[in-house]
Chain A
Amino acid sequence: MDEIELVERARNGDERSFALLVRLHERSLFATAYAIMRSEWDAADAVQDALAEAYAKIGALRNAVAFKAWLTRILVNRCYAVLRKRKHDVLTADPPEPEAYTHLGREEGLDLMRAVRSLDLEHREVIALRYFRDMKLTEIAEVLDCPLGTVKSRINRALGRLGSALGSNPFVEVAE
């Protein structure tokens, strides 16, 4: 059964199909929320709220193909809502807490995570949507409600900054 069929079933109230959709998306949703929020507790809270909202509203989703972007938009809005409540978006120097964020990859991944965390919000979010949520440029533009060109330039700039932080900027020879 493919994802569209699961979405169709979930729209008709099938709980198990919704649970399978959650299983398919939970990891990347959490990674995305973490990249945006920089707090695993806030991220978990945002994912939790977003999925509850999605469950409540999925019956009203008109186009099953748009599920991924729709769910992502709910998540991003939840993240924004929490960030708005925070008066100061302060970057802590600490790495992700190991009890909540299990890094299963190579050791270099931790350096990369630190570099992502050090980006400002508009760059963290495009990185997360592009590579954690695996979204097309058009989908990201839709989720963030901004022009395609803006998304593209933010991604390029974010990659440049990550490359610089890690000592190899792929865009260093191109003037911005």
Chain B
Amino acid sequence: MNCEEIRDDLEAYVFGDLGADRARVVADHLESCPTCGAAYERTRSLIGDLKELGESFAPLERYEVPSAAPRRSPALWGWRLTAAVALIFAGLSVAALAVPAIAQQLPVPVARKLDRLESENERLASEVASLTIELRSIGGEEVPVVQDPETDVPADEALAVQNLAMSFVRAQYAGDLEALRDMGTERLRADLAAHPDDYLRAQGAEVVFAQMTDVALTEDGTYLLFVRLMDSAEWSESQYQENFEIRRVDGRWLVDFMGMDA
């Protein structure tokens, strides 16, 4: 092979994309040809810089699945939840949420997607309006529960999930990190340890469970529950929401994720 043929293969050689036989020929040539050796060094350096450049990009915002919803964008999450609740109640698969969820969470932009989703949301809102609400006794309180006529979660399991969420909220207002920890999976415990302030609410404030949803079950065994809350620290403010993912681990009901929402 002459120098020109060697140079032609230098890029693939540096990249590691050359067959073994060919790579050996190139390697042998480089040892004996200082000019090609210098070209090899320059190519290697440039390719290294390009790879480093690619790794230096940081997308504006990272995609999150609904289950790992970021607390940093409550408006979008809340917006999505409105649609999510409606869809779950309409008996649709939770997975069907993911496309609009992606549209919401990926970097940027998005006026046109919001337009489309808003029109979709109006339709979903009318479906929500047709749902019935009943008072259920949960954790010693009468709580309005939005009923899902097509839920496949047995009543006793739903009650256990709702009771756990209520105990969790009460511990948040009591500032009882140990109790929160005891109610959480390993995943939640790790997040609690890293961001305890995200879990604590106005200490000692009176809390009202304004509304809960029925419990939905995803294909991977996660129970979803959304709880609307008000507290005496901010009566003048509108309600807020906590979104729970609860799992059954070794017979115990545990909170796997809690996200706060506007």
Contacts and interface: CB of A to CB of B under 8 A. Distances in A.
A91 interface: no
Interface of A is mostly: helix
Interface residues of A, number: 61
Interface of B: 3-4, 7-8, 10-12, 15, 17, 35, 39-40, 42-43, 46-47, 49-60, 62-68, 93-95, 98-99, 102-103, 106-110, 219-220
A121 interface: no
A52 B99 CA distance: 5
Interface of A: 13-16, 18-19, 22-23, 26-28, 30-32, 34, 40-41, 44-45, 47-48, 51-52, 55-56, 99-106, 108-109, 112-113, 116, 127-128, 130-134, 136-137, 152, 155-156, 159, 162-163, 166, 168-171, 173-175
Contacts, number: 158
A48 B113 CA distance: 11
Nearest to A169: B42
Contacts of A101: 57-58
Interface of B is mostly: helix
Given A15-B65, A105-B53, A48 B42 contact: no
Contact of B63 (A26, A103, A133, A168): A26
Given A44-B109, A109-B52, A55 B102 contact: yes
Nearest to A131: B50
Contact of A48 (B56, B58, B107, B219): B107
Given A19-B63, A156-B8, A163-B46, A56 B99 contact: yes
